[in-house]
């Protein structure tokens, strides 16, 4: 199937769900769960679910950072 000029322009600003999954390394189930729970914003465009690059980056930035406990924090927790 040949891409149209519109498809090419959209591809620069939007991810399909499959592209988002590949770019961010999460499963289809997890992607739709994030959308359903409101943490990831998606749009329906021509029957396809699309995620803007800005929304994808906002989702990534909102994920809590995992930081291992320091030795002092470990000792206090014990």
Q: What is the DSSP string of 9-54?
A: HHHHHEEEHHHHHHHHT--HHHHHHHHHTTSS--EEETTEEEEEHH
Bridge partners for 52 per DSSP: 14
3-state DSSP call for residue 46? coil
CB atoms within 10 A of CB 59: 20
Mean pLDDT of 56-66: 94
The answer, as to whether pTM is greater than 0.75, is no
Predicted pLDDT at 53? 94
pLDDT for the residue 66: 85
Q: Tell me what the pLDDT averaged over the chain comes to.
A: 88
Q: Is 76 left (phi over 0), alpha (psi -120 to 50) or beta?
A: alpha
Indicate the pLDDT class of residue 67, thresholds 50, 70 and 90: confident
**Residue 64 — φ and ψ, nearest 5°?**
-60, 145
The CATH architecture to which 10-77 belongs is: Orthogonal Bundle (1.10)
């Amino acid at each position: 199937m040949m891409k149209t000029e519109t498809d090419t322009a959209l591809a620069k600003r939007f991810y399909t769900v499959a592209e988002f999954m590949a770019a961010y390394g999460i499963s289809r189930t997890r992607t739709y769960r994030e959308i359903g729970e409101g943490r990831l914003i998606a749009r329906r465009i021509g029957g396809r679910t699309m995620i803007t690059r800005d929304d994808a980056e906002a989702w990534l930035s909102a994920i809590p950072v995992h930081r291992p406990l320091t030795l002092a924090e470990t000792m206090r927790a014990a």
